[in-house]
Amino acid sequence: MLEPLRKVVENSIGSRAAGTFVDRSARTKSFAGSAPAGPAREDKPFLGICLGLQALYESSEEAPEAPGLGALRGRVARFERVFKVPHVGWSQLEIPRQSRLLGGVAGGSFVYYCHSYYGPVTEESVALTDYGQRFAAAVETGNLWAVQFHPEKSGEVGLRVLKNFLDLK
């Protein structure tokens, strides 16, 4: 017999316009305003990766007609073309405050990115990166954790983040 699902990871890349889970019918009022249905409603730990973080905001320039889940205030924006877009490669983390997700990760650590859009810094931001614009690299609120970078491609730092998430009680 299979055990019930205890944690959920949404590792998405691609277009928010095609975001199958960014849909008004998938919204529910369970915490921090609105949140993904299912696991969030049951207070299961949820880890969003890349587009999984962007979907938590209220809206996005990429697909104005597709509302976000609204767990984080603000609008996802496209990087200005001052730098190469998409932002692909290694960038440093600034960690302004303690976080369960980033426990054991030092400020200045490098992580791997591949994205053209970014979420604004909010009070839920626990890590930031600067790529011509400071943006939320990681957020934490209630049972939601999310990162803009790809932990699965970020070596030891990424493994630490994934282990921290798996160890959450």
* Domain spans of the chain, in order of start: 9-167
The tokens of 87 are what? 């932002």
What is residue 43's predicted lDDT score, i.e. its pLDDT? Answer: 76
* Backbone torsions φ then ψ of 79, nearest 5 degrees: -60, 140
**Does the active-site annotation cover 152?**
yes
9-167 belongs to which homologous superfamily?
A: Class I glutamine amidotransferase (GATase) domain (3.40.50.880)
**Does the active-site annotation cover 114?**
no
Of 143, 137, 134, give the one whose Cα is nearest residue 79.
Answer: 134
Query: Can you tell me the mean pLDDT for 72-84?
Result: 94
The tokens of 117 are what? 């859009």
Kindly name the residue from 50, 87, 115, 124 that is annotated as catalytic.
50
**Does the active-site annotation cover 65?**
no
Percent of residues, the chain, with pLDDT higher than 90: 67
Angstrom distance (rounded) from CA 11 to CA 140: 16
Element (H, E) at 52: helix 51-54
Kindly name the residue from 62, 123, 152, 156 that is annotated as catalytic.
152
What is residue 12's predicted lDDT score, i.e. its pLDDT? Answer: 56
What residue type is assigned to position 122 of the chain?
A: T
What is residue 13's predicted lDDT score, i.e. its pLDDT? Answer: 55
